[in-house]
Amino acid sequence: MTARTKRTNSATLPPREKGRPAQRRRGRPADARKHADILAVAMDVFLKGGYHAASMDAIAARAKVSKITVYAHFSSKQALFSAICAELAGRLTGTFQRMTLSGLAPEKALRQMARAYLDLALAPRSLALHRLVVAEAARQPQLGRLIHRHGPVAIAATLAVYLKAQPSLRIANPELAAQQFLGMVLAQNQLGLLLAGKPAAKSKAALNAAIDHAVELFLNGCRKI
């Protein structure tokens, strides 16, 4: 190769091939932020208006991106709704996985679990999600299963592990006992809000009294004589 050819090739090479180090890419943080922003906006749109009223156009407008960008991140409206359910399910599981019950007396542990469960389940967004998933369960049963597995089932499993480790309690089936305790705490208050717009316990004091009664009733049936 002649010196002239070398000079010509060198002049046409892109900068990184001329010996300059290429800039190192650090992933795609802008895309990740955009993905999270679209998901957050879509979550609000779905929870407020329901599945059928939500549109990709409205979500794109609220997120200040094009509809093409929304579809670049989520292939369909159903895929976007599935991502929302997965995100919320992960939050449900994480809340109770971080809870530390070991070392607490049964009365205190049960009150702590009941209070956290009610705070989560009776929150406006949780109630909206409950309505939305129930409405869509027949058409998209996998989403109902996802929320159920990461919500009530996972939360009851956390409590069951604690109950099984308590020498002062006589419980043949800790998993069933945990489900029954949480159901006793939640049922009337959640149904009251879902169907009548108000919980059975109409004040914080009344809610705490209902929790205390459920704990007492549960422990009276489970304590070793």
**Residues 118 and 171 grouped into a single domain:** yes
Residue 4 lies in a domain: no
**Residues 96 and 194 grouped into a single domain:** yes
Last residue of a domain, one of 18, 47, 75: 75
**Residues 120 and 64 grouped into a single domain:** no
For residue 110, which of 207, 214, 23, 204 has the smallest C-alpha distance?
214
Domain total of the chain? 2
The pLDDT tens digits of the residues spanning 175-222 come to 999 999 999 999 888 988 888 888 777 788 999 999 999 999 999 998
**Residues 129 and 105 grouped into a single domain:** yes
**For the residues 4-18, what does the mean pLDDT come to?**
46
What is the residue type of 153?
V
Q: How many helices (H) and strands (E) does the chain have?
A: 11, 0
Domain at 137, CATH number: 1.10.357.10
Please report which confidence band the pLDDT of residue 41 belongs to, taking 50, 70 and 90 as the band edges.
Answer: very high
**Residues 66 and 110 grouped into a single domain:** no
**For the residues 53-73, what does the mean pLDDT come to?**
95
**Residues 179 and 128 grouped into a single domain:** yes
Burial class of 3 by CB neighbour count within 10 A (0 to 12, 13 to 18, 19+)? exposed
**Residues 189 and 215 grouped into a single domain:** yes
The pLDDT tens digits of the residues spanning 131-176 come to 999 999 899 899 899 889 888 999 999 999 999 999 999 999 999 9
Question: Helix or strand or coil: residue 86?
Answer: helix
Domain extent at residue 66: 27-75
Residue 81 lies in a domain: no
**Residues 174 and 130 grouped into a single domain:** yes
d(CA 38, CA 25): 23
| Predicted pLDDT at 91 | 83
